[in-house]
Amino acid sequence: MKKILTIFVIIFMFISSAYADKLLKSGFINKKIKILSNQNIDNPENKIVIIYNHGQNKHDAPIKNECAWLNNLNNSASLIGKKIKDKEIMVYNFCTNHFAGDDYKRIWNKKKFKPPYKGVSKLEKRLSANLDLIEKFIQMGVPKNQIFITGHSCGGWMIMMFLAKHSDKVGGGISYMQACYGKLTKETKVEKIGIEKALKKFRKKEGDGPADLRKSQIDEILKSKNLPALVFTHPKDPYDGLLSDWVEDIPGVERIIISNDKKVNGKKCYRSGVNNGKPWKDEIKNYHYINWADCFQFYNPTILKFIESKI
């Protein structure tokens, strides 16, 4: 009995420390990436609210107890407290991984899926949740042009979709490494065979479901007459690194190609954080996560200038 109890305590401690490395709920955060106890917005007319949207690992499916690792928010948190035109920046971490697309059991199953997609996708549900959150902030007194929606990976893809539909609801958006359909650049060998053949290869491998959904979302975004977004991409991002040129065809988009290697402004890039309660620091290995690295704060003045241009 004592042995079983000891094992239970060890497992509990491991799980607790692992969860301590993550943010598992939505809310305004401080510079130490802790959820603030006070979620009110004091003096809202003089606040700038940045909403951070995480990525998603299971495409259209729901994910429990998964939101954002603390190190994902280091650079967003570095903006907290900075002032633009005497207006102070706040950052809100928004957890929406629990949503499931209505057709998630079929969409990525090539054998089962027959068009069309039935119902509402996970990305669309996340988009609607952001719209509700933004309306809440507006009701609290924050001017809509002082609200900025941001996101990484699938979160970045979703904010492009959001701005194509609701650009009048916010000041603008910032998309980091937008992608939501797997490691297309790497797995389809875009650099070797070109974009057109790579997308045909993606369709053949995954089926019409994901290929059609991706295309339809891009087509809707491209219809935008003015999409106020700052878009960061990297050509060696294994996801959509070499499949991101289409964003330059959208009026209002300012695209920044980060670099051609794992450095920013000549500086090596490292990610740091905690894992099971222990601090760690590693050199960037996957270009998809370079916006989480310390070197990425080189772009903070660019981000602040973009925000200033919209308020």
Question: Tens digits of per-residue pLDDT, 36-73?
Answer: 999 999 999 999 999 999 999 889 999 999 999 999 99
> Whole-number mean pLDDT of the chain?
93
> Does pTM top 0.85 for this prediction?
yes
| pLDDT at res. 20 | 58
Concatenated DSSP letters of 138-182: HHTT--GGGEEEEEETHHHHHHHHHHHHHGGGSSEEEEES---S-
Candidates 22, 1, 65; CA nearest to 9 is 1
Confidence of residue 14 (pLDDT cuts 50, 70, 90): very low
Give the total residue count for the chain.
311
Domains parsed from the chain with CATH numbers: 25-36+53-310 (3.40.50)
Q: Which amino acid is at 150?
A: T
Nearest to 301 by CA among 270, 263, 256: 256
Q: Cβ of 112: how many Cβ atoms within 10 Å?
A: 11
More confident residue, 1 or 104: 104
Amino acid in position 54: H
Task: Read off the amino acid at residue 61.
Answer: A
Collapse the DSSP code of 124 into the 3-class scheme (helix H, G, I; strand E, B; otherwise coil) and give the result: helix
Report the percent of the chain where pLDDT is more than 90. 89
Q: Rounded CA gap, 38 and 27, in Å?
A: 9
**For residue 111, pLDDT beyond 50:** yes
> Average pLDDT for residues 71-89, to the nearest whole number?
97
Of residues 19 and 80, which shows the higher confidence score?
Answer: 80
Instruction: Name the pLDDT band for 3 (thresholds 50, 70, 90).
Output: low
**Number of Cβ atoms within 10 Å of the Cβ of 43:** 9
Tokens of 43: 């003096």
User: What is the number of other CB atoms lying within 10 angstroms of the CB of residue 199?
Assistant: 17
Q: What span, in angstroms and rounded, lies between the C-alpha atoms of 232 and 245?
A: 11
In this structure, are residues 3 and 11 in contact, taking their beta carbons and an 8 Å threshold?
no
